A and B are shown apart, each in its own frame.
Chain A
Amino acid sequence: ILNVEQSPQSLHVQEGDSTNFTCSFPSSNFYALHWYRWETAKSPEALFVMTLNGDEKKKGRISATLNTKEGYSYLYIKGSQPEDSATYLCAPKRTGTASKLTFGTGTRLQVTL
């Protein structure tokens, strides 16, 4: 079983705050890291796929970095808005054509006015 840890478990910030979360995963046999955004009562939606050490991805106010050697990724949200409220899941994928995603338990973000 792949051990994927996300912290913090939940986060409550005010509109305009910037925030970040951490995803930790085993660095061995690393293939890719996926980030998903999951709004309440909806389905998970893909945010980023990252593969290379030092990779940085950006989508609007959300960005992510990747360190494959030490096995972690950070997700940053700049100037949080209420619509950013969701659970953010990370899922590493290991090498091998039959590899699969193993989801972390997520960081639940709530942004209030």
Chain B
Amino acid sequence: DAGVIQSPRHEVTEMGQEVTLRCKPISGHNSLFWYRQTMMRGLELLIYFNNNVPIDDSGMPEDRFSAKMPNASFSTLKIQPSEPRDSAVYFCASSLVWVKVTDTQYFGPGTRLTVL
């Protein structure tokens, strides 16, 4: 398996622009997670899905952020409008059966976002 795939790997945009980050989880995994990594806050969970349904989006910073999972093999994280403070590395992770206590998450390579 190719692992979790994220695109783009790097994104540089200007303040006010819309940004869309994409993730393809490992085939057969039914849980998907979006994380943001910053120097100040470390690795923080933004939202996660079970069977394509959002379960917990309490980590989404504000209304400018939205996430969708239209099917089991694709998810997007959108920021509109983007701001310089959104600059971070965004990771997507997937898990086979998240309700199973010993299951682990597999992380993608991340998207480094820079908002000028």
Contacts and interface: CB of A to CB of B under 8 A. Distances in A.
Interface residues of B, number: 20
Interface of B: 33, 42-45, 48, 55-56, 91, 99, 101-110
Contact of B91 (A43, A98, A100, A101): A43
- What secondary structure prevails in chain A residues at the interface with B? loop
10 contacts: A34-B105, A43-B91, A43-B108, A43-B109, A44-B91, A97-B99, A98-B56, A100-B33, A102-B45, A103-B44
A42 to B, nearest CB: 8
Nearest to B45: A100
Interface of A: 31-32, 34, 42-46, 49, 51, 89, 93, 97-98, 100-106
B107 A104 contact: no
